[in-house]
């Protein structure tokens, strides 16, 4: 508390005081390294580069924040749900760190007003805010350390926006999301039960594999066929988000299958025949933003050194 008061007085005369106070309203403390927070909100579409020619964006911070967020949320979930099985804990954590939830959290705390992106970016209406949220967590970790980062997530995120018990009961239909995505992009998705076995407590277990255009996309295990399919679909959605080579291979197979079909079938209408349309990551509903504490125009973004 005393340190924040001292920082407040010192920053009253700083040339970037508006940026410091902007982040203070979100964080509850003043940043030490302002640039790392600014970089956390730079989408790659801005195409900024350092004097050495290296790209300046939030992708590396997003990678770091994803790992830190998983660890902290896992810790919180583990301590809150004593005696619960590993599968329950994993599913609950997944519901919290999934892109849909992170997008909403970014809007709730006002990050959506601060993210800088090129207007042409197609990511604007999908998962950009959730990625920025992860990068922001990475920035807090680098600037303040693990304990302060955990305190921020507990006090500013969980306490205000997440009901753990309600979240744990929320049904996430990953299979439906994957099927909706496949229908939109006209690709074939199949689920195959590949193994059935008994666990160490003599409970029946099922393992399902999901394939996209015949390509293995993920496997899932559960105490029912439905649960194993949901877990397999979740793995496939995660792979579609993170693996560009996998998405490119799906496009290639889709084009091959369509070409083979045209040798025996009537030609498809022009709007359906092309496989060139790039596959979008299957994502999420977007929540309208409430008024945020500050906007991207409130902060200046000088030349920075990549994190």
**Annotated binding-site residue numbers for Mg(2+):** 62, 131, 134
**Alpha-carbon distance 95 to 15, whole Å?**
41
The pair of three-digit structure tokens given for residue 77, joined into one six-digit string: 């979930």
66 is annotated as an active-site residue? yes
Choice among 66, 108, 143, 213 that is catalytic: 66
DSSP code string of the chain: -HHHHHHHHHHTT-TTHHHHHHHHHHHSS--S-HHHHHHHTB-GGG--B-TTS-B-SSHHHHHHHHHHHHHHHHHHHHHHSTT--HHHHHHHHHHHHSHHHHHHHHHHHTGGGT-B--TT-GGGGTTHHHHHHHHHHHHHHHHH-HHHHHHHIIIIIIHHH--HHHHHH----HHHHHHHHHHHHT--EEEEEEEEEE-TTS-EEEEEEEEETTEEEEEEEESSHHHHHHHHHHHHHHHHHH-HHHHHHHHHHHHHHHHHHHTTSPPPPHHHH---SPPPP-----PPPPPPS--GGGS--------
Q: Which residues participate in the annotated binding site? A: 62, 131, 134
| Candidate list 18, 51, 86, 134, residue with the active-site label | 134
Total length of the chain: 307
Provide the annotated active-site residues: 66, 134
């Amino acid at each position: 508390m005393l340190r924040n008061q001292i920082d407040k007085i010192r920053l009253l005369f700083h040339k970037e005081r508006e940026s410091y106070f902007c982040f203070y309203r979100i964080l509850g403390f003043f940043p030490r390294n302002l640039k790392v927070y600014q970089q956390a909100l730079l989408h790659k579409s801005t195409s900024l580069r350092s004097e050495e020619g290296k790209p300046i964006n939030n992708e590396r911070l997003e990678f770091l924040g994803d790992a830190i967020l998983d660890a902290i949320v896992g810790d919180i979930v583990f301590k809150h749900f004593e005696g619960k099985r590993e599968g329950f804990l994993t599913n609950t954590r997944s519901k919290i760190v999934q892109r849909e939830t992170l997008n909403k959290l970014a809007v709730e705390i006002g990050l959506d007003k601060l993210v800088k992106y090129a207007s042409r970016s197609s990511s604007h209406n999908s998962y950009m805010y959730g990625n920025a949220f992860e990068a922001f967590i990475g920035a807090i970790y680098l600037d303040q350390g693990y304990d302060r980062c955990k305190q921020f997530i507990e006090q500013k995120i969980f306490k205000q926006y997440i009901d753990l018990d309600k979240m744990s009961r929320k049904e996430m239909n990953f299979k439906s999301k994957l099927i909706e995505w496949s229908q939109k992009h006209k690709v074939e998705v199949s689920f195959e039960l590949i193994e059935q076995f008994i666990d160490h407590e003599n409970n029946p277990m099922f393992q399902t594999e999901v394939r996209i255009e015949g390509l293995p996309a993920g496997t899932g295990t559960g105490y029912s066929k439905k649960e194993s399919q949901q877990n397999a679909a979740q793995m496939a959605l995660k792979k579609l988000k993170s693996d560009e080579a996998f998405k490119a291979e799906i496009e290639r197979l889709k084009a091959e299958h369509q070409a083979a079909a045209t040798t025996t079938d009537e030609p498809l209408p022009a709007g359906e025949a092309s496989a060139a349309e790039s596959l979008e990551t299957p994502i999420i509903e977007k929540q309208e933003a409430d008024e945020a504490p500050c906007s991207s125009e409130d902060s200046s973004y000088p030349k920075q050194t990549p994190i």
